[in-house]
């Protein structure tokens, strides 16, 4: 498989296809792999008409209600029902009021002041679909299933304005066969990918910070997900965003009920993989899931991943090693399909693979649906457009199991429209009496099983597609700097003893961790990465600086063995764990020269057993290190004075004394005998002389 590194060719191909699909008679979905394959209406459409709500799905005999906020109540309203659209291309044209066809039904010039109004001042249009009371003049003629454009024209003294909406007429439930139960047609499955993502710079302590506009957009989308528990929208976010939102106000745990597994920040997977930093990716996953477990319903789904342009073939292998089994591919990253082989928008699963044999099941997002959701600042109208477009897709092949993925993107209008969209999807799953439901919303993880593999329509079995990626980019000195800073991080965590009873230590360790994790964000440059790691080092050094060794002075031993008191200082507000080591040429340490010591806040006395080899004054080197013995904290030198001799010296002295005493005794006896002999000889000589 060939991975695209450059998108230039793709952009050119897209431009050619857009031009081709602009002509009449082109098959539906020819530009299905392109963003904007459904043309968007002029933003100035319906300046003075606001659609506040509308019944989107109708069946035989079911009511239809529309509520409008009008700039004026003086004038008339004309309602026209147009023929059902027969392609996605035509549907896109009808959004701007083109290719509507001659109306099949009109309600002409209804005086605005005669239409019902709600207590909120909204103008109501109440109709019934075909199959109701035939004598009712307000019967909506929608006999066959399909997507019917509905044009509302308001004429006032200040001018005329028109708004285009769409009504989805569901199919009637066919009678059951007399001999066997009826098999229901498969519904068209829809997955909603809610992106709660935003650039998240961090402050000096590593806490993520959101801008006001991003925060409002994210909260709008989050509220919509929580407010529609019956619609299993899938949330794609990261830990930094979760923490930043939680810091501004409580989050509903239900927001995480269909959460995809988050990282802490979006990372460049291709570059991380190329530099062998899979362990850092694992840290990102752990930190992202920790935020999800703290603030939301629990950890995210590890089986499904949303690809971005940083996922190259090697990174695909990394994802598979981490448990990813299926991927959502943004439409603008997929290779355009052959329009003759795939004449309609691709709404089935396919595979992507790499040269190493990794193959994952995939679904692509639909860029047209994303664009429609943010196409207007009227939430109900945007939701109607998306639901109608989904219905057009569903009516293409009603007997085939297919699926579409709506990526909400990062448009503020899309976030405001999300609640209306989810409510509409919930209503669509429960069809009016006598009708068959058309759409079913599923979590992204379950969406793959609800879709047949691409190629089933054309008789093929599988479709393996290329996707574009930017490939790895050089990360400069960051990998080496990261390794050093992570080592300092580990020393900090081993020394400060973070936990529920040590909030300052916990916050400090957390700050360093956040800064290190944030340095891996994909949108940073080399300098920004270095600055974050420098900030992390500053936090670590500042946290360890209050731990040290004050002046020790001289210690005197009264015997050859004893204890040496060592004074250590902990200037932090909580206990810390450190490692001390002592070294001396003339002292021995019977219990070991190193020890792990817990220091309470303030001054701490620690006693070390010693034994002197000789008498005299001996220097001792004292080193204080972090608990993991990896980072030095302080060094000091003090003196131990010993006036006593050792046990061996004492024995030798006694032996020498005994020997000396024995020698002196022997010497004295010899001298005494010698004097006696001399005296005797002298006496004999004197006697001889006398005689």
**Structure confidence at residue 36 (pLDDT):** 38
**362 lies in the same domain as 258:** yes
- Token look-up 């679904």 returns 363
Number of domains in the chain: 4
**581 lies in the same domain as 665:** no
The answer to the question of residue 360 being in a domain is: yes
**Are the C-beta atoms of residues 368 and 38 closer than 8 Å to each other?**
yes
**522 lies in the same domain as 639:** no
**363 lies in the same domain as 421:** yes
Q: Which of 287, 319, 292, 315 is nearest to 305 (CA)?
A: 319
d(CA 222, CA 224): 5
Q: Which of 227, 219, 669 is nearest to 425 (CA)?
A: 227
**Are the C-beta atoms of residues 637 and 583 closer than 8 Å to each other?**
no
d(CA 215, CA 212): 5
The pLDDT mean for the chain works out to 86
d(CA 65, CA 55): 5
Last residue of a domain, one of 473, 489, 511: 473
The answer to the question of residue 153 being in a domain is: no
pLDDT for 208-259, tens place per residue?
Answer: 999 999 999 999 999 999 999 999 999 999 999 999 999 998 999 999 999 9
Residue 256 DSSP one-character state: G
pLDDT for 356-378, tens place per residue?
Answer: 999 999 999 999 999 999 999 99
**What is the side-by-side order of every strand in the sheet holding 304-306?**
304-306, 326-329, 359-364, 350-353
**Are the C-beta atoms of residues 639 and 610 closer than 8 Å to each other?**
no
The answer to the question of residue 65 being in a domain is: no
**490 lies in the same domain as 461:** no
pLDDT for 86-117, tens place per residue?
Answer: 999 999 999 989 999 999 999 999 999 999 99
Question: Residue 493: which H helix or E strand, with range?
Answer: helix 478-496
Query: Is pLDDT above 80 for 665?
Result: no
Question: In a 3-state reduction of DSSP, which class is residue 685?
Answer: helix
**451 lies in the same domain as 400:** yes
Q: Which domain holds residue 250?
A: 1-39+187-473
Query: Is pLDDT above 90 for 8?
Result: no
**Structure confidence at residue 679 (pLDDT):** 56
The answer to the question of residue 340 being in a domain is: yes
Mean pLDDT (whole number) for 272-288: 97
Q: List CB contacts of 307: < 8 A, sequence separation 6 or more.
A: 327, 328, 329, 330, 333, 467
DSSP strand pairing (123-129 vs 146-156): unpaired
Question: Residue 624: which H helix or E strand, with range?
Answer: strand 616-626
Residue 425 backbone dihedrals phi, psi, to 5 degrees: -65, -35
The answer to the question of residue 159 being in a domain is: no
**379 lies in the same domain as 244:** yes
Last residue of a domain, one of 427, 454, 473: 473
**513 lies in the same domain as 558:** no
The answer to the question of residue 155 being in a domain is: no
- Token look-up 């302590």 returns 205
**pLDDT band for position 399 (50/70/90)?**
confident
d(CA 44, CA 450): 39
DSSP strand pairing (139-140 vs 146-156): unpaired
Query: Is pLDDT above 70 for 345?
Result: yes
The answer to the question of residue 502 being in a domain is: yes
The answer to the question of residue 683 being in a domain is: no
Last residue of a domain, one of 491, 511, 544: 544
pTM of the predicted model as reported, rounded to 2 decimal places: 0.83
CATH code of the domain in which 573 resides: 2.60.40.10
**516 lies in the same domain as 632:** no
**407 lies in the same domain as 419:** yes
**463 lies in the same domain as 413:** yes
**282 lies in the same domain as 316:** yes
d(CA 156, CA 179): 60
Buried b (16+ CB within 10 A) or exposed e, 624-645: bbbbeeebebbebebebebebb
**Structure confidence at residue 581 (pLDDT):** 96
CATH code of the domain in which 193 resides: 3.20.110.20
Ranked by mean pLDDT, the top range of 64-73, 528-537, 649-658 is 528-537
């Amino acid at each position: 498989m060939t991975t695209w590194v450059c998108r230039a060719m793709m952009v050119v191909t897209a431009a050619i296809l857009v031009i081709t699909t602009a002509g009449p008679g082109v098959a539906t979905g020819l530009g299905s792999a392109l963003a904007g394959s459904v043309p968007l209406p002029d933003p100035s459409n319906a300046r003075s008409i606001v659609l506040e709500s509308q019944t989107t799905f109708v069946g035989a005999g079911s009511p239809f209600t529309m509520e409008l906020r009008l700039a004026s109540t003086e004038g008339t309203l004309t309602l026209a029902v147009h023929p059902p659209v027969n392609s996605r291309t035509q549907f896109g044209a009808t959004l701007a009021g083109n290719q509507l066809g001659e109306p099949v039904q009109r309600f002409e010039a209804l005086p605005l002041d005669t239409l019902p109004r709600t207590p909120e001042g909204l103008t109501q249009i109440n109709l019934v679909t075909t199959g109701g009371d035939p004598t009712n003049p307000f019967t909506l003629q929608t006999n066959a299933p399909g997507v019917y454009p509905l044009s509302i024209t308001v004429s006032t003294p200040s001018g005329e304005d028109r708004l285009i909406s769409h009504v989805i007429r569901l199919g009637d439930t066919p009678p059951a066969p007399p001999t066997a139960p009826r098999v229901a047609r498969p519904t068209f499955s829809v997955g909603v990918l809610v992106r709660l993502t935003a650039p998240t710079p961090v402050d000096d302590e590593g806490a993520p910070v959101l801008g006001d506009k991003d925060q409002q957009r994210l909260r709008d989308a989050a509220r919509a997900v929580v407010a529609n528990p019956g619609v299993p929208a899938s949330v794609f976010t990261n830990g930094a965003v979760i923490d930043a939102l939680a810091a501004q106000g409580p989050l509903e745990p239900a927001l995480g009920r269909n959460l995809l597994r988050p990282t802490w920040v979006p990372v460049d997977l291709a570059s991380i993989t190329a530099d062998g930093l899979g362990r850092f990716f694992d840290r990102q996953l752990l930190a992202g899931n920790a935020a999800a477990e703290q603030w939301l319903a629990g950890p995210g789904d590890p089986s499904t991943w949303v690809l971005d342009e940083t996922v190259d073939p090697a990174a695909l292998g990394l994802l598979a090693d981490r448990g990813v089994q299926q991927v959502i591919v943004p439409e603008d990253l997929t290779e355009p399909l052959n329009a003759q082989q795939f004449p309609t928008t691709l709404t089935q699963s396919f595979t992507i693979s790499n040269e190493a044999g990794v193959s994952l099941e995939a679904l692509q997002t639909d860029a047209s649906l994303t664009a429609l959701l943010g196409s207007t600042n009227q939430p109900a109208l945007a939701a109607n457009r998306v639901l109608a477009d989904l219905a057009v897709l569903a009516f293409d092949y009603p007997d085939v199991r297919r699926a579409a993925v709506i990526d909400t993107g990062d448009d503020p209008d899309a976030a405001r429209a999300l609640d209306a969209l989810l409510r509409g999807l919930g209503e669509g799953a429960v069809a009016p009496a006598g009708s068959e439901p058309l759409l079913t919303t599923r979590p992204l993880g379950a969406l793959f099983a609800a879709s047949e593999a691409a190629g089933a329509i054309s008789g093929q079995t599988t479709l393996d597609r290329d996707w574009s990626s930017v490939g790895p980019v050089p990360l400069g000195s960051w990998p080496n700097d990261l390794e050093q800073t992570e080592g300092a991080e580990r020393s900090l965590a081993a020394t400060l003893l973070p936990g529920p009873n040590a909030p300052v230590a916990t916050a400090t360790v957390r700050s360093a961790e956040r800064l290190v994790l944030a340095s891996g964000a994909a949108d940073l440059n080399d300098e920004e990465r270095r600055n974050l790691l420098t900030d992390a080092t500053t936090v670590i050094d500042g946290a360890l600086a209050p731990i040290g060794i004050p002046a020790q002075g001289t210690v005197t031993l009264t015997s050859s063995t004893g204890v040496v008191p060592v004074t250590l200082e902990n200037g932090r507000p909580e206990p810390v764990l450190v490692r001390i080591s002592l070294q001396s040429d003339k002292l021995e340490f019977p219990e070991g020269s190193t020890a792990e010591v817990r220091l309470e806040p303030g001054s701490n006395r620690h006693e070390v057993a010693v034994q002197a080899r000789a008498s005299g004054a001996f220097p001792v080197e004292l080193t204080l290190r972090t608990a993991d013995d990896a980072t030095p904290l302080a060094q000091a030198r003090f003196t131990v004075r010993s006036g006593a001799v050792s046990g061996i010296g004492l024995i030798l002295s006694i032996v020498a004394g005994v020997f000396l005493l024995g020698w002196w005794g022997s010497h004295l006896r010899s001298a005494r005998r010698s004097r006696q002999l001399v005296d005797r000889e002298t006496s004999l000589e004197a006697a001889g002389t006398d005689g």
